[in-house]
Amino acid sequence: NGVVSIELGDAGKVGEEIESGIELISLEEADDVFRNNIAEYVKRSINVVSVEIGYVTVDYPEGAAFVPAYVYYTDGKSTGYTWQAKRAIAAVNALNGEFIYYDAPMAN
């Protein structure tokens, strides 16, 4: 009944913020990227239950960046795990349209 413990791992130093006022790609553009790329990773139909905009960590050669992204969630039926209500399957970087697949095991 409450918080038992909190652990912080690999605390990083926050770097410089990139310029402000950058426009994000639209949900329609992100949807096109998602639809054109997801079949390469998932060889069956999936049920997207929601798309939420949030921040994800992306690793680049220069270091990690916290970027806005459209995150796509699927239900347990698509993942093969009926106990899981929803889980993130992929994201689209809202700055540049980069497709990000979450490499987690899915039942065949």
Return the bridge partners of 58, or none.
65
Burial class, 76, CB count within 10 angstroms (exposed 0-12 / middle 13-18 / buried 19+): middle
State pTM to two decimals: 0.73
E strand or H helix that includes residue 67: strand 63-75
pLDDT tens-digit series, residues 38-95: 988 887 778 888 999 999 988 888 888 889 999 999 876 655 555 456 788 999 999 9
d(CA 12, CA 95): 22
Please list, residue by residue across 27-58, b when 16 or more beta carbons sit within 10 angstroms of its beta carbon and e when fewer do: eeebeebbeebbeeebeeebebeeeeeeebeb
